[in-house]
Amino acid sequence: MKERIVLAYSGGLDTSVAIGWIAEATGAEVVAMAVDVGQGGEDLETIRQRALDCGAVEAYVADARDEFANEYCMPALQANALYMEAYPLVSAVSRPVISKHLVKAAREFGATTVAHGCTGKGNDQVRFEVGIQTLGPDLKCIAPVRDLALTRDKAIDYAEKNNLPIATTKKNPFSIDQNVWGRAVETGFLEDIWNGPSKDVYDYTDDPTFSPAPDTVVITFKGGVPVALDGQPVTPLQAIQEMNRRAGAQGIGRIDVVEDRLVGIKSREVYEAPGAMALIAAHKELENVTIEREQARFKRTVGQRWTELVYDGQWFSPLKKSLDAFIADTQQMVNGEIRMDLHGGRAVVTGRRSDTSLYDFNLATYDEGDSFDQSQARGFIELFGMSSKVASRRDQNLGINPL
């Protein structure tokens, strides 16, 4: 029996050409594997058949939309994961679930190698290969674009020469990756960081300049996970999809950032993540109501490190697992409702309520019913500033002027 290679298959030009390209370069049989993480477009059966028509000996498809939403997007939401305070890990959070299914397919079909379509300049090569090698240490990894010199021009020529059943064009200027958590766009004229994005960059969001009437939504959370919208129960996948639709109609979630890539270069990226950005804004505000101050301060540090690990392809690492446990513990009391106004590119919180709230009206009010004993404040300030006061007195005795 010939050696087999499992290829992460998207159904596009590069991975379709890679089926024959890999077979010719290695002499191995290629098993194509596609994973649906809510990217939309063609149905999985169409993609499966195209892989077979392009020369795959087997084609495996997986509907991982609920798995992706439940086990990958929700932890990102609970961590308030925004890389460089902007990017909600659109691509990064999808790579571990795809890697997991690649390894499962390799086991099922007796493959010794896993292939992916990443270049040598991007983050995804690291995310895929670290994930695959963590879950399947015995498996080898190859990348046709990086390792077998498969350029886009060569891919087009190969597809035309072999009459592959896929549209070929040199006119599309962008590289696009998308899933239910968002959409990532790069390359083309966007590589000149002075150029503004054109209208054709966007697909998940409408122009916020011409947004419809304001849309008010009430999001119910339990354990830091959205469980209802406007009182109607939803699964995590349904919550993301519906918020993509409603927030996207208002132009919410457009992100244009020069990003620090893992490989050490800076890259201009344009993202659309209407559902993710609106849900993160709501979740963060509910945490403000329900998480104790010192715990909340430390969680921001943990959340940032969690985000960096996921961005860097360390989803399956021991440290990420430990940070998961801390974040999960903080979410026990993140229950309640957030009311948001969606309009003109902004998701604005206008109301909060929770049975596990730490907000005490009688402590906070300045009006009738105030239960805060203000007489305690003087002693608190004296003790709180004591160490600084003592240090300042020492410095002045030494002739150090604090002014």
pLDDT in tens, 71-91: 999 999 999 999 999 999 999
Beta sheet of 4-8, edge-to-edge order:
58-63, 29-36, 4-8, 113-115, 140-142
Q: Give the pTM.
A: 0.93
Tell me how far apart the alpha carbons of residues 274 and 208 are, in angstroms, rounded to a whole number.
12
pLDDT band of residue 168 (cuts 50, 70, 90) is low
pLDDT at 387: 96
Catalytic residue flag (residue 387): no
Tell me how far apart the alpha carbons of residues 104 and 135 are, in angstroms, rounded to a whole number.
9
| For residue 171, pLDDT beyond 80 | no
| Domains by residue range for the chain, with CATH | 4-173 (3.40.50.620), 176-353 (3.90.1260.10), 361-397 (1.20.5.470)
Q: What is the mean pLDDT of residues 295-303?
A: 98
- Residues annotated in a binding site for L-citrulline: 87, 123, 127, 175, 259, 271
pLDDT band of residue 236 (cuts 50, 70, 90) is very high
Tell me how far apart the alpha carbons of residues 201 and 196 are, in angstroms, rounded to a whole number.
10
Catalytic residue flag (residue 339): no
Tell me how far apart the alpha carbons of residues 389 and 335 are, in angstroms, rounded to a whole number.
42
Of the residues 4, 36, 48, 124, which is catalytic? 124
pLDDT at 38: 94
Of the residues 53, 147, 175, 354, which is catalytic? 175
Write down the mean pLDDT value for the chain: 93
Q: What is the mean pLDDT of residues 302-316?
A: 98
- Taking only the tens place, the pLDDT of each residue in 258-290 is 999 998 999 999 999 999 999 999 999 999 999
Residue pair 89/201 in contact (Cβ under 8 Å)? The answer is: no
Q: Helix or strand or coil: residue 338?
A: strand
Catalytic residue flag (residue 124): yes
pLDDT band of residue 377 (cuts 50, 70, 90) is confident
Distances (CA, A) of 30 to 5, 108, 115, 208, 218: 5, 13, 9, 45, 48
* Burial label, 262 (beta-carbon count in 10 A; 0-12, 13-18, 19+): middle
Which of 1-15, 96-110, 229-243, 328-342 is predicted least confidently?
1-15
Q: How much of the chain exceeds pLDDT 70, in percent?
A: 98
Higher pLDDT, 328 or 47: 328
Q: Helix or strand or coil: residue 360?
A: coil
Residue pair 182/90 in contact (Cβ under 8 Å)? The answer is: yes
Distances (CA, A) of 169 to 12, 44, 60, 174, 387: 11, 23, 27, 12, 69
pLDDT band of residue 188 (cuts 50, 70, 90) is confident
- Taking only the tens place, the pLDDT of each residue in 129-151 is 999 999 999 999 999 888 877 77
Catalytic residue flag (residue 329): no
Q: What is the mean pLDDT of residues 52-78?
A: 96
- Dihedral (Cα; 301, 307, 309, 310), 10-degree rounding: 160
- Residues annotated in a binding site: 8-16, 87, 117, 119, 123-124, 127, 175, 259, 271
- Residues annotated in a binding site for ATP: 8-16, 117
Report which residue type is found at 229: L
pLDDT at 292: 97
